[in-house]
Structure 1
Amino acid sequence: MAERASTSAGANGTTITAERPDAIRNVVLVGQSGSGKTTLVEALSMATGALTRAGRVEDGTCVSDYDDIEHRQHRSVQLSVVPVAYGGIKINLLDTPGYADFVGELRAGLRAADAALFVISAAAGAAGVGGQTLALWEECASVGMPRALVITHLDAARADFDEMTETCRDILGGGAAESMLPLHLPVYGPRGSDGHRPVTGLIDLLTEHVFDYSRGEHTRAETTAEQAALIDRARGRLIEGIIAESEDETLMDRYLAGAEIDLTTLVTDLERAVARGTFHPVLIAAPPPEGAREGLGMVEILDLITRGFPTPAEHPVSASRLGDGSGPVPLTCDPAGPLAAEVIRTASDPYVGRVSLVRMFSGTLHADDTVHVCGHGPIEERNHDVDERAGGLSAPFGKQQRPLGQAIAGDIACVGKLGHAETGDTLSAKDAPLLIAPWPMPEPLLPVAIRAHGKADEDKLSLSLSRLVAEDPAVRLEQNGQTHQLVLWCLGEAHRDVALERLRSRFGVQVDTLDHRVALRETFATGASGRGRHVKQSGGHGQYAICEIEVAPLPEGSGIEFEDKVVGGVVPRQFIPSVEKGVRAQAARGVVAGYPLVDVRVTLYDGKAHSVDSSDAAFQTAGALALREAAAAARVDLLEPIAEVRVTVSDDHVGAVLGDLSGRRGRVLGTEPTTGGRTVVRAEVPELELSRYAIDLRSLAHGSAHFTRAYTRHEPMPAQRAEDIRAQASAPA
C-alpha cells in the first residue's frame, strides 16, 4: 500500500503532506514552563529525520522559536507547529507556551488538536502538576479529548518515576486514577557524582521486552532477573486497567478466571481506550545523547500517536449557517465537503504581510481561492464579515514556512494575505458561509495604561493596536471615557511585556506606560449653599452674572438634577439654562479632586442680572462658581467603584486568599465548595485594590486560582484614603 503521508523538497526544506485525513494526527503538547515540551518536539523531530540535530533544520535555523521576542523573553510565547512523518502518518506537533500568561495561545492549540500530550517534569515533583495543568486537564476532559502523559527529567537528582506517576494519578486522575497507568518502566544507569541518574532504557510492560537507548538507538536488550521482578509487579495492574476499559465485557471475567489474554487483544483494546479518551497512558522521554539522533522513548511515543490517538475524522465540529438561523451544521472531515476552517493564530510577517494559521475542519483550500471571512459579535460591529482572496498556502515548520499546494480537511496550514482575518475567525465558501463557535478565552484582568511616546508614534498607534488585538485575542483594548486613558488589558506581567514589545519591534510604535486610573466619583454627603458671582468691567461690554444655589445629596444612581425656583425674574428666563449648563460642566470636571460629581440636586433660587452686561457665558461661569463654593462649605465624599470578585482556588489556599482579600478592604460574601477540591470565594472589593490582583493571586495560590470581577456600585471610600487622593490632586504637577 502506498504511504499515506509523503514529503517533497521545496526551497525552504522538505514539505510533509497527507493525501487523506486518516493519515493525519494533530497533537498538542501541554505542560508548565520548563517541563520540556520544546525539547520533546525537537527529539521527536530528530527521531523522524525532520531535524539534523537538536532544534536545527537543514539550513541550521532553529525550529522551536517563532520570533525574536521569544529569544529576548527566554520563554515560548506563541503556538508553534512542527509537522513530522512517521509510519506513513503526518503528525502535526503543536508546541504551546507553558507560562500562564499565554494560555490564550495554549487554548488555540487545544482547538487545533485532536489529542494532547501532557508533559510533566519529574524534577519539579508535585509542583510540576500545578493548578494550571489540572485546569487544562479538566478542560480537555470536558470535551472528551484523548490525553497521555509524558514524564521528563527523570535523570534529576531527586526524580522518582513511581512517585511522579502516583502524584499525577492523585492530582489528575480524580475518580478514574486506575485509567492512568505507565506503559513502560525506566531502566537506570549508574548514578553520577552530581547525584543525577541517567535513564538508559525502557521496560515494555505489555511485551515484556527491554529496550536499550544508551547509545541513542532503539535496540532490544536481555531482561535481567531484577527487571523481570519489576515486570511481574506492574504488568498485572496495567492489564487490569486496560481490561476495565475494554468494550468486551467478558474479558474481565476470563482474566479473573485465570485465562491468558493474548497480546494482540490487549494492544487493540489499549489503543481503542486511548482514542476514546478513557485511558491515559504514562510514557517516558529523554533527549538523545550528544551526537545521537534517537532520544529515549521517542519510538514509543510515536507509536502511541499514530496507533492510539484519533484521526481528525474522530474530532467532530459543528458550525452554523450565516443568516438563516437553521441551527448547527455538523462538519465531517471530508476533503470533498464544504469549506470550513478556523484561524487559530494570526501573525504579521514583514515581507508577506498578515499570515493566518488555520485548522481545516472540512473541504479543501487552494491558493488564490476566494473565501468568506467571518468573526463573532453583532453584525454591525464586524469589520471582517467579507469575501477575500487567499494568498499562497504554506506548511508551518516552527519559524519556517514551506510551500504547500493545497490544505485538506484535518490538516493545519498557513494562509497569506487575508487582510481582515483575525484569530478565531472562520473561513468558508463565499456562496455558503459558515461560522464555527470560538474557543473560550480567559478574561484579561491586568490593566496597563499607555500613550504614544511621540507624534510619529501617535500617528501609527491606532492601526498598530488594531493589528495587535487581531493577532492576540487575549489582549483587550479599552478607551476609557471616564478616565480618558487608553488601556490594554492583559493576562499578566509577561503578557503585558510581550504586547508592548510587539508594538515596538514589530509595528515600530514606542509607547509610554502610565499608572492606571480607576473611575472615581464625587458626591455631596451634606447639603450646602453657594453663591456664584461673575462681574467684570474693563471698558466696553462687560460681564455680569450672579446666581445662588442650594445643593442636596440624592440616592445612588440619581445623577445630576437641576431645579429652577427663581421668582420675580431676578434671573431672566433665557439665562436659567445657562446656569444649568455651567453647573453640569463643573460637575463633570469635579469639585474637589477632579472626578465627576454625581447624585445631587442643584436648586437655583436667586440671582441678579444686568440689562446690558449679562450673557450666556457669564451665567455659565457663575453657575460653575456657585457649585464650587457650595462644595467648599459641604462634606464631599469620594466614591470608589466596588467589584464583586469570584475567586476559584484550591482548598489548600483558601485561607491565604481570604486573608489577602481582607487586606484589600474586601468584604467576603461567602464560600462554596466546587469540583476538584476547590472552593469559590465571593467577595466585594474596591477596584482600587484590584489593579495587580491578577499577578498577586497567581503568586499567592501558586497558580492554582483564577478570578472574575464585575462592577456592582460606587460607595464612599475611607476618609484617610480619600484625603490622600485629594492631596495628590491638589499637588503641583
Structure 2
Amino acid sequence: MEAPRVEPVRNVAIVSSAGAGKTSLSEALLYVSGAIPTLGSVPHGTTVSDFEPEELHHHSSASTSLLHYRWGTITINLLDPPGALSLLGEPLAALRAVDAVIIVLNGQAGVRTELARVWARIHALALPCLVFVNGLDREGVSFPEALEVCRKQLDCPPVPMTLPLNPGPGIDAVLDVRRGTLIRSGPASPKADQLPIPPELEGLYRDARKQLIEAVAESDEQLLEAYVGQGDLSHEDLLRGLRADVLTRQFLPVYAGSAIRNVGVWSIADAIETLLPSPEERAAGHPFEGRHPETGEVGVRKGNATEPFSAYVFKTLIDPFVGRLSYCRVVSGTVQADTTVFNATRHVREKLGHFYAVLGKRHTAVSAARAGEIIAIGKLKDTQAGDTLCQESDPICYPGLDLPRPVLSFAIDAKSKAEIDKVSLGLHKLIEEDPTLAFVRNADTKEMVLSGLGQLHIDLALEKLHRKFGADVTLHTPKIPYRETIKTAAQAQGKYKKQTGGHGQYGDCWLELTPLPRGEGFVFESRVVGGAIPRNFIPAIEKGVVEAMHEGVLSGFPVVDVRVAVYDGSYHVVDSSEMSFKIAGSMAFKKAMESAHPVLLEPMMTVEIDVPTDAVGAVMGDLNARRGRILSVRANDHAEQITALVPLAEMLKYAPALNAMTGGRGSYVMDFARYEEVPRELAGKLIEQHKADRQAVAAH
C-alpha cells in the first residue's frame, strides 16, 4: 500500500505549563533542522523564540513567537506561545492558527491549570496532538509517570513512540518504536545517528511495538485483519494507520527526550512531517466555517488555494524596527503583497503591506502567500487580532478570538503630569498586542484602571510601557465605585434668596424624594399646580437635582434609585431666574436626602470559580468570609464550578488568594451583577474613612 502523499506545509503550536521546556524544544527543532547553527539556552537568553527584553529578564516567554523553518522539503510554521497562566490568552489565540499541537510535559510537574485549560481548548477544536516528555536528563523524572499523567489528567490513552535509554544526566539516545532504530544525538551536533537496536533491547522494543501496532489496528478493520493474519504491519500500513489515528485523536503518541541535550528531538521533528496533517488534510475533516458579514449566512472554506482569498489575524505585534505586524493564517486562496482586501470584521477596506516569513525577530520578505501559510503582514491600518481579511467580492467572517477576561485590576498614576498622555497612548498600543489586557478611565472614581490575567501579566505590561513608550506609573488598589440611595420618603424646601444692587435672586421649591427599586436609576416629575412655579423654571430645578446627585450626603458618592417630585414653591416676577431655581432644587434635594435615611450601596459581582474537587471546601469557606453568597456548585469533570455573589471590595486581591488555596489550579471570571446595601457596621467605617481622606486632600 502506498504511503500517503506529504503536503509541503505544517502549522504547529508547541504548548506547555511554564518551565516545562517548550521554548527549549522549539530551539532544538530549529537546531536539528539546520535553521540555526548553535543550540541556544533559555537561562542564557540566547534562544530564537525569546528575544524581547522582558523575556530575557524573566527567562521565560512573554509573547507568541513565529518560527518559520524547513525540514527536508517541508515548510514548518511553529508557534511558541508563553506557558504562564497569567498569559493564557497567547496560547489560546495561537491554537486558532494551527492544524496540530505538540504538548510538552515535564515528567515531574504533571498537568497544571494553564495546560489543563489549553488542553480543553485543544479538545474543543479537535486538534491532532503529539506529546513530548521533556527533562529526562534530570534525576527523578520518570517517563512511565508521564505516560500515566497523559492517561489520567489528559484523559486520553498514551502510546509510546520513543523510549528513553539511560534517563538521567547521561541520556544520549532514544529507541524509536515506529522506525525500529536506536537514535543517538547530543547538543554538540544537530545530526542524529540511526543505529540498529542492540540485542539486549530487543525485548523492550518488541513489547513497545506490539502496543503501538495494536493501538493502530484497533481503529481500522483492514489493518486489524492484516495484523491478525500476519502478526505485524508493514511500514506503509503502520504509517497510514498512525496518520489516520493522529488526525482523529484515537490516542496520544508520546515521545521521550531532553530538549536541552538534543535527545529525542529528531524523532519528534520527523513526526511533525510524517504524522501531523497538512492544512488541506486538516480542513478536509474540519473545514473553516464563518458567516457572510452582511447577511449572516453560513459560509465554508476548505482550505485550498483555488478558493476565494480569506485569512485570519491571530496576533498583532508592534515591532520597534518593522512597525506594526499582523500575524495571519491564510485560510484559503492566494494573495499578493500590497493588495487591497476587505476586513469583514470591521467592514473596511485594508491595503496590505509587505509580507514576511518570520523566524523569531528575523523577518524575510515574501511576495505572496497561499492557503495554509502563516505570515506577518506589515502596517495594517485598521485590523486587530481576531479580524478576518477576505476577498470583497466573496466575503466571509470567521469567529473572533475567544479569550479569557481580565481578573486582576490596579489603579495607575503617571509618575508625572507630562507622562499622562504617554501612559494612555502606550497602554492602548499594548492592548492591540494583547487583547486580554484592559484599560479604562473610571468615570465614577476618576482613576485610570489597568486590568490583566495576573500579577505577571500586569508587570510585563508595565515593563513594556516603560521600554517602548518611556512612561512609568505607580500602582495602587483601585477605589470601589460605591453609590448612595435612600430608604424612606422625605420632603424638604429649598429656598434661595439673594439681594444685590440690581436684580436679586429668588427661587423657592418643595421636593419629595421616594426610593425606587434597585437599578431603576432616577426619575423626575413635576406635580406643581396653579402656577406656583412657572413651567419654564421646572427644567432648572431638575438640573439642580441632577448636579446634587453627583455627590451624596454620606460620603460624596453618586446617588441612585431615587424618584424626585417638585410639588410646590413660589417665585418672584423680577428676581426669579433659571439659576436661582437650579440652586433651590439642589438645596431642597440635599435637605430631603438627609432625612430620608440615606444608605451606602456597593457593587456586587457574579463570580464563577473553577476549582479542583479537593479545594472546594477551602474556596467556599473563603467566599463566605468575603461576605459572598454561594448560588450554585456544579460538577465538571475533575473540577467543580462554584457560582457566588460577592462584593467587589472583597475581590480586588482574590487572584493570589485563589492560587494559594488551589495550588495554582483554580481560575475565575466575574461580571457586575447589581448594587446592594453595605452592612451597617462596615458602612460606618467606610464613611469615616472617606471623610478622613477628603479632609486630607483638602489640607493639601
- Secondary structure of the structure 1 residue equivalent to 2:213: helix
**1:271-420 counterparts in 2 under 5 A?**
271-287=243-259, 289=261, 295-316=262-283, 317-320=287-290, 322-323=292-293, 325=295, 327-375=297-345, 382=346, 385-420=347-382
**Separation of aligned partners in 2, 1:306 and 1:570:** 88
**Paired residue for 1:589?**
551
- Structure 1 portions without partners, runs of 5+: 1-19, 190-195, 290-294, 376-381
**Which 10-residue stretch deviates more, 63-72 or 278-287?**
63-72
Match of 2:561 among 599, 618, 628: 599
Q: Which is further off, 419-428 or 643-652?
A: 643-652
- Which aligned pairs between 1:446-485 and structure 2 lie closer than 5 A? 446-450=408-412, 452-460=414-422, 463-485=425-447
Partner-residue secondary structure (3-state), 1:495? helix
CA shift in 2, pair 1:34/1:627, >3 Å: same
The structural deviation recorded for 1:330 is 2.2
Q: Deviations over 1:172-214 (max 9, x none)?
A: 0x2x42xx1111221116xxxxxx5432221233454333336
User: Aligned to 1:727, which of 688, 694, 699?
Assistant: 688
Mapped to 2, the partners of 1:349 and 1:315 lie a distance apart of 32
The match for 2:192 is 218
Per-residue deviation, 1:467: 2.9
User: Residue by residue, what CA displacement relative to the aligned partner does 1:435-461 show, whole Å, maximum 9, x if unpaired?
Assistant: 222231112232333455545434455
* 2:173 paired residue number: 201
Could you say which residue in structure 1 is the equivalent of 2:115? 133
Alpha-carbon shift at residue 80 of structure 1 (Å): 0.4
Which residue does the alignment assign to 1:437?
Answer: 399
Q: Say which of 91, 98, 117 aligns to 1:113.
A: 98
Say whether 1:31 aligns with 2:13: no
Query: TM-score normalized by structure 1?
Result: 0.86
* CA 1:247–1:534: 2 relative to 1, 3 Å: farther
Q: CA deviation at 1:233?
A: 4.3
> 1:158 is paired with a residue of what secondary structure?
coil
- SS of 1:145's equivalent in the other structure is coil
Query: Does the CA-based 8 Å contact 1:131-1:702 persist in structure 2?
Result: no
Cα 1:615/1:326, change in 2 over 3 Å: closer
Letter of the 2:67 partner, please give it: V
CA deviation string 1:469-501 (max 9, x = no partner)? 322222234344444444333222222222333
Moved more, 536-545 or 424-433: 536-545
Gap change, CA 1:373 and 1:555, over 3 Å in 2: closer
Q: Distance in 2 between matches of 1:580 and 1:268?
A: 78
Match of 2:144 in 1: 162
CA change 1:729–1:544 in 2 (3 A) is farther
Q: 2:62 aligns with which of 70, 77, 98?
A: 77
Give the alignment of 1:446-525 within 5 angstroms: 446-450=408-412, 452-460=414-422, 463-525=425-487
| Residues 605-632 of structure 1: CA deviation (Å, up to 9, x unaligned) | 5545455444322232232223223333
Residue 451 of structure 2: SS of its match in structure 1?
strand
Aligned residue number for residue 678 of structure 1: 639
Q: What is the Cα deviation at residue 103 of structure 1? A: 1.7
Give the Cα separation in 1 of the matches to 2:13 and 2:66.
Answer: 9
* Kept after mapping to 1: 8 A contact 2:289/2:300: yes
Matching residue of 1:185: 163
**Equivalent position amino acid for 1:185 in 2:** L
Q: Quick one: which amino acid aligns to residue 688 of structure 1?
A: A
Secondary structure (helix, strand or coil) at the match of 2:548 reads helix
In the TM superposition, residue 77 of structure 1 has moved relative to its aligned partner by 1.2
Q: Which amino acid aligns with 1:186?
A: P
Separation of aligned partners in 1, 2:128 and 2:463: 36
Equivalent pairs counted in the alignment come to 682
Structure 1 pair 221–393 and aligned structure 2 pair: CA distance change class (3 A): closer
Q: CA deviation at 1:51?
A: 0.9
Distance verdict in 2 for CA 1:570–1:373, change over 3 Å: closer
Deviation at residue 100 of structure 1 after TM alignment: 1.3
Which residue does 1:242 correspond to in 2?
Answer: 216
Following superposition, the deviation at residue 551 of structure 1 comes to: 2.9
Q: Which residue identity does 2:231 align to in structure 1?
A: A
Contact kept, 8 Å, 2:85 with 2:113, in 1: the verdict is no
> Residue in 2 aligned with 1:101?
86
Q: Which residue of 2 aligns with 1:700?
A: 661
Which of 619, 630, 652 matches 2:614?
652
In 2, distance between residues paired with 1:550 and 1:439? 51
Contact 1:146 1:278 in 2 (8 A): no
Aligned partners of 2:67 and 2:78 also within 8 Å: yes
For residue 394 of structure 1, report the CA deviation from its aligned partner.
1.4
Equivalent position of 1:151 in the other structure: 133
From the superposition, tell whether residues 673 and 336 of structure 1 become closer, same or farther in structure 2 (CA, over 3 Å).
Answer: same
8 Å CA contact retained: 2:128, 2:249: yes
Kindly state the Cα deviation for residue 638 of structure 1 after the two structures are TM-superposed.
Answer: 0.8
Alignment match of 2:579 (pick from 611, 617, 624): 617
- For 1:501 and 1:565, the matched residues in 2 are separated by 59
Matched position secondary structure for 2:397: strand
Provide closer, same or farther for how the CA distance between residues 609 and 352 of structure 1 changes in structure 2, counting only shifts above 3 A. Answer: same
Q: Post-superposition shift, 1:268?
A: 3.0
State whether residues 385 and 401 of structure 2, in contact with CA within 8 Å, keep that contact through their aligned partners in structure 1.
no
Structure 1 counterpart of 2:225, from 245, 251, 267: 251
Task: Give the SS at the match of 1:90.
Answer: strand
Distance (Å, rounded) in 2 between the aligned partners of 1:263 and 1:431: 47
Structure 2 unaligned residues grouped into runs of 5+: none
Letter in 1 for 2:667: H
Would the alpha carbon gap of residues 288 and 681 (structure 1) be closer, same or farther in structure 2, given more than 3 Å must change? closer
Looking at structure 2, the residues matched to 432 and 21 of structure 1 have their Cα atoms a distance apart, in angstroms, of 30
Shift of 1:27: 1.0
Q: Distance in 1 between matches of 2:394 and 2:196?
A: 61
Counterpart residue number, 1:555: 517
Matched residues in 2 for 1:606 and 1:439: separation?
Answer: 57
Alpha-carbon distance between aligned partners in 2 of 1:555 and 1:324, rounded to the nearest angstrom: 40
Return the match for 1:67 from 33, 41, 52.
52
What is the CA deviation profile of residues 562-616 of structure 1, one whole-angstrom value per residue up to 9, with x for unaligned ones?
4555577665555444333322221132221122212233344554545544432
